[in-house]
């Protein structure tokens, strides 16, 4: 069942199931039909987001018990509500106590879970890493860690382990004779006891254990049983003191310690080594999050078993799939979800898919739609004045000196990512293509180095996150692949046409030049294509979303997840077309836990597009006033902190987030922390991998000084006060569109009030639900009235509660109803966005303002503007849904001054009974 609306809750130790249950009466009263939570599975201790799952078989004990989950579900059902659950099928945390990962580290390729993680066991270009896992967990080089005494050895419960900081890494029992044989030699000098004889027997048994690379499943199973017996026998020995002495001796002998560690199924290394040599696929470039092979049936089953139990028991009503682009075959995964959904057919499923310009969700996917980034960005663009593009571009260039086209910037940053944090993934991918090339005489002369360079060019030229070739090639995928190959070839013609043709034909699953593809060749092609697609998505995410969007700061309200900074403003006709074609089950958010700015911040920054001259003058004043606070570094005459682009971003951020009641130290800290994150993401002067502490401190001090300047604070405050009313109107208009257009309106926790938060962690703080509960009770029954009260926190909640309740009361209208764009005529026609939702004889009229910065606030500005009604909906009695007592008859058109008599948005209802 498609929800009428959802409300996102971030579950963690600070907000538990019991607390979520306590606010259900409030969410019900607000008009919410489905609570939509972050993952409920056991995550790494202290997780605040749930994406670092360590155990798929258990409810996270930090957020509640099984009984509390059942009580939560029972309360939902009693209220006619449901639960949408966030599912993380791509990766697991390997930084916590993950039983699967621990088994892999102990047993290597013979582990029961060796294929649960996407590990290149035998494909690494370093021979010493074949059959091992690289663990980038050290804070210094491996040699320094060995020599410094950082690495400690432990013996507990019959098992040996390596202690690195607070982590315990198992030692392979097959290698325990490197410890036990010296213990035995020491004890042989004394009297032969039963323990010594038993230890002798254990040493012999260890010597006969099957090796880690044993391929025979029967021998592997026998080996696991024998290892369990060895551990029990060791635990029963009364030789702890002798074993401890030997462990201490090894710790103090770098040669012996290195020998012991070299024998393990993993190699600890300096964390910086990961970008070049890591041999397990990660979630983007996060070492702690290892990719899992959900395409394998046994992995899929183990990852989803508990989730399907919750679906079967009626606890979970729908799923949100995190990052489907990371899956080997998203279509097959979604099909399997539906096939195994315990008789709930179809199961409501949405995917967190970022769509590129003009990209459509694959029709073959078994999903109701996306989580709505494309919706957010299209609606946001409606409130950007396209006429100011050239003026705003000039101000940006004049202030920052940056003239690089956005597409070129994205290319360069993707190239940077593939030369730094995702280098190892590129190496592994090149290895797959190299082995494919060797299978046919027409491609055998392509070198591994040449293939790697060509793949890098192709990945940097890819215009979308990924294609979906899965044994068949969709026409739209073929167009994207051919276009990207042509661009890559133009950028680097020295590589030769042949190697790019090889890449193109591989991704299009074409036969080799020598003749029809063999079965082995086709299977290798499909694998290469899948692996390419799994890498193109994180390259785009890191190069575009996490780097370029922090550099191209022309108008940062456009720099959103899934956004198009080049798309400067959207005309009503384009938005109407988008709405008419949109899947009815897709989510419609204006803020999420992942957005870079809240709806309120974007809505206010959008207003700058309506005042380009005033904005240019303001930033020029602020630049001159704050020049004295910038810090110049003696070793580089051109290096100042912040640079002009960072300063330009800071001023937009201040305008977007500025509290109208005035700033305090909490606000100063938020902005300082935000700018630190911005600089790490932009990777210009600093980065997460190579932070420049001196530069970061200098920018932090700049923030302190400018936000301590009375003159500057006063100037910014006055400027923000002048544009804030239009920002409130933008936000209110977007809110009403979100709640009444095709799709499922999604409210991110707390944003039923005006919200001015930035990217995480700023947007993931505690929500004052007590305050929201009190306000909702206070405003119930009140009419939406008063343009002058627009900035009041109750104003937005009135609109949110009215539209969500109405949507729940009329599900057929808003879920299945038609979307009809309306024509507007008159003096301010360009400043209106209007549409009807219709179903049978019921209709809802939605009218909102846009780009009204130069109009006088209030209904008098709209006296010569009218919304035209289709013939079928003329001569009706329309009831004001925001002021239920008001209604008025109309003929073929409605005056905007009537619609906006009490508020800057309008929502009117009519039905067959209201015909005149």
The dihedral sign for the CA sequence 607, 613, 616, 617: negative
Residues facing 289 on adjacent strands: 93
CB 108 within 8 A of CB 213: yes
- What is the Cα–Cα distance from 109 to 96, expressed in whole angstroms? 21
Residue 427 near residue 125 (C-beta atoms within 8 A): yes
- Give one word for 167, left, alpha or beta, with left for phi > 0 and alpha for psi -120 to 50: beta
- pLDDT at 637 (0 to 100): 54
Residue 155 pairs with which residues in a beta bridge? 160
* Residue of 422, 472, 429, 469 lying closest to 452 (CA atoms): 429
The confidence score (pLDDT) of residue 913 equals 46
Say if residues 787 and 808 touch (Cβ distance below 8 Å): no
Token pair, residue 211, equals 């090796």
Query: Residues 410-452: pLDDT tens digits?
Result: 999 999 999 999 999 999 999 999 999 999 999 999 999 999 9
Q: Name 836's bridge partners.
A: 820, 845
User: Hey, which bits of 595-651 come out as E strands?
Assistant: 631-632, 640-641
Q: What is the DSSP string of 672-696?
A: HHHHHHHHHHHTSS--SSS--HHHH
Residues facing 351 on adjacent strands:
321, 370
Find, among 417, 401, 669, 643, the residue nearest to 546 by Cα: 417
Residue in the block written with tokens 């705003």? 392
328-356 burial string, b = 16+ CB within 10 Å, else e? bbbbbbbebbeebbeebeebbbbbbbbbb
| Angle, helix 519-540 to helix 497-507, in steps of 10 degrees | 100
Angle between helix 389-400 and 612-626 (nearest 10) = 10
Q: What count of other Cβ atoms lies within 10 Å of the Cβ of residue 864?
A: 13
Residue 560, C-beta contacts closer than 8 angstroms, at least 6 positions apart: 373, 376, 377, 380, 549, 595, 596, 597, 602
User: Token pair 């979800």 is at which residue?
Assistant: 337
DSSP 592: -
CB atoms within 10 A of CB 642: 24
Strand-by-strand arrangement of the 842-849 sheet: 818-821, 832-839, 842-849, 906-910, 876-880, 887-890
Predicted local distance difference test score (pLDDT) of residue 579: 97
Query: What's residue 770's pLDDT?
Result: 97
Q: Tell me the three state secondary structure of residue 198.
A: helix
CA 539 from chain centre, in angstroms, equals 14
Phi first, then psi, for residue 380 (nearest 5°) are -60, -40
Burial environment of residue 841 by CB neighbours within 10 A (0 to 12, 13 to 18, 19 or more): middle
Nearest to 250 by CA among 104, 151, 346, 352: 151
CA distance 424 to 426: 5
- Given a cut of 70, the residues of the chain with pLDDT beneath it are 190-191, 634-638, 786-788, 885-890, 912-916
Looking at residue 364, what DSSP letter applies?
T
Which pLDDT value is given to residue 861? Answer: 87
Torsion, Cα 437 440 443 444, to 10 degrees, reads 80
């Amino acid at each position: 069942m498609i929800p009428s609306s959802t409300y996102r809750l971030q579950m963690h130790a600070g907000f538990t199931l019991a607390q979520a249950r306590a606010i259900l009466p409030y969410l019900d009263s607000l008009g919410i039909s489905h609570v939509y939570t972050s993952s409920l599975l056991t995550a790494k201790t202290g997780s605040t987001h749930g994406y670092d799952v360590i155990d798929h078989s258990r409810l996270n004990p930090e957020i509640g018990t099984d009984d509390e989950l059942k009580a939560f579900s029972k309360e939902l059902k009693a209220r006619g509500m449901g639960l949408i659950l966030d599912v993380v099928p791509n990766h697991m945390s390997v930084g916590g106590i993950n039983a699967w990962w621990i088994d892999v580290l102990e047993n290597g390729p013979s582990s029961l879970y060796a294929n649960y993680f996407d590990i290149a066991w035998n494909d690494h270009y370093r021979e010493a890493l074949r059959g091992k896992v690289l663990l980038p967990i050290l804070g210094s080089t491996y040699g320094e860690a060995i020599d410094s005494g950082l690495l400690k050895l432990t013996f507990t419960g019959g098992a040996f382990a390596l202690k690195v900081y607070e982590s315990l890494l198992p030692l392979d029992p097959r290698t325990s004779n490197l410890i036990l044989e010296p213990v035995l030699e020491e004890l042989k000098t004394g009297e032969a006891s039963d323990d010594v004889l038993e230890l002798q027997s254990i040493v012999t048994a260890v010597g006969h254990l099957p090796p880690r690379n044993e391929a025979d499943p029967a021998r592997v199973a026998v080996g696991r049983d024998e290892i369990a017996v060895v551990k029990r026998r060791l635990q029963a020995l009364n030789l702890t003191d002798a074993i401890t002495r030997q462990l201490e001796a090894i710790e103090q002998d770098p040669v012996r310690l290195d020998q012991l560690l070299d024998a393990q199924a993993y190699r600890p290394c300096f964390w910086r080594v990961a970008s070049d040599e890591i041999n397990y696929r990660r979630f983007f470039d996060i070492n702690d999050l290892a990719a899992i092979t959900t395409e394998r049936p046994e992995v899929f089953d183990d990852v989803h078993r508990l989730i399907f139990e919750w679906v079967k028991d009626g606890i979970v009503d729908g799923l949100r799939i995190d990052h489907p682009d990371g899956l080997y075959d998203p279509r097959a995964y979604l099909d399997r979800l539906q096939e195994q959904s315990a008789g709930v057919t179809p199961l409501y499923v949405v995917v967190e898919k970022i769509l590129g310009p003009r990209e459509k969700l694959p029709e073959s996917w078994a999903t109701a739609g996306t989580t709505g980034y494309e919706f957010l960005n299209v609606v946001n663009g409606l409130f950007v004045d396209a006429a100011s593009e050239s003026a705003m571009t000039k101000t940006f260039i004049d202030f920052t000196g940056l003239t690089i086209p956005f597409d070129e910037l994205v290319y360069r940053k993707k190239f940077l990512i593939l030369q730094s944090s995702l280098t190892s993934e590129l190496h592994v991918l090149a290895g797959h293509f190299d082995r494919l090339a060797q299978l046919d005489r027409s491609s055998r002369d392509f070198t591994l180095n040449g293939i790697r360079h060509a793949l890098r060019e192709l990945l940097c030229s890819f215009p979308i996150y990924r294609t979906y070739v899965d044994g068949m090639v969709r026409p739209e995928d073929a167009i994207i692949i051919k276009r990207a190959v042509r661009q890559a070839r133009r950028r680097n013609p020295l590589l030769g046409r042949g190697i790019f043709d090889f890449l193109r034909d591989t991704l299009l699953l074409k036969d080799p030049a020598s003749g029809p593809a063999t079965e082995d060749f086709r299977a290798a092609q499909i694998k290469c294509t899948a692996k390419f697609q799994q890498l193109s998505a994180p390259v785009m995410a890191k190069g575009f979303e996490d780097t370029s969007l922090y550099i191209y700061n022309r108008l940062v309200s456009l720099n959103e997840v899934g956004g198009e900074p080049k798309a400067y403003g959207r005309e009503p006709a384009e938005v109407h077309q988008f709405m008419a074609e949109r899947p009815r089950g897709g989510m419609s958010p204006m803020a999420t836990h992942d957005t870079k700015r809240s709806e309120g911040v974007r809505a206010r920054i959008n207003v700058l597009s309506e005042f380009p001259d005033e904005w240019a003058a303001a930033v020029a004043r602020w630049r001159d006033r704050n020049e004295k606070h910038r810090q110049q570094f003696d070793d580089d005459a051109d290096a100042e902190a912040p640079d002009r682009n960072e300063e330009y971003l800071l001023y937009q951020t201040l305008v977007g987030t500025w509290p109208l009641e005035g700033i305090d130290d909490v606000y100063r800290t938020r902005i300082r922390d935000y700018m630190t994150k911005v600089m790490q993401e932009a990777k210009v002067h600093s980065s997460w991998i190579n932070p420049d502490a001196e530069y970061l401190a200098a920018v932090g001090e700049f923030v302190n000084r400018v936000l301590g300047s009375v003159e500057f604070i006063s100037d910014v405050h006055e400027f923000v006060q002048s544009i804030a009313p239009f920002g409130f109107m933008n936000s209110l208009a977007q809110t009403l569109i979100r709640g009444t257009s095709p799709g499922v309106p999604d409210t991110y926790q707390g944003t039923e009030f005006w919200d001015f938060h930035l990217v995480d962690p700023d947007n993931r703080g505690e929500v004052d639900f007590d305050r929201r509960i009190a306000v909702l009770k206070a405003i119930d029954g009140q009419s939406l009235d008063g343009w002058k009260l627009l900035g009041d926190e109750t104003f937005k909640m009135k609109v949110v509660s009215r539209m969500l309740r109405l949507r729940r009361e009329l599900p057929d209208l808003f879920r299945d109803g038609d979307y009809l764009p309306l024509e507007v005529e008159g003096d301010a026609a360009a400043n209106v966005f209007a549409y009807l939702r219709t179903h049978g004889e019921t209709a809802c009229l939605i009218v909102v303002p846009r780009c009204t910065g130069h109009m006088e606030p209030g209904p008098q500005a709209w006296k010569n503007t009218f919304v035209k009604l289709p013939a079928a909906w003329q001569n009706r009695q329309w009831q004001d849904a925001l002021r239920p007592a008001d209604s008025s008859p109309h003929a073929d058109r409605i005056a905007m001054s009537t619609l906006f008599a009490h508020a800057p948005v309008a929502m009117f209802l009519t039905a067959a009974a209201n015909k005149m």
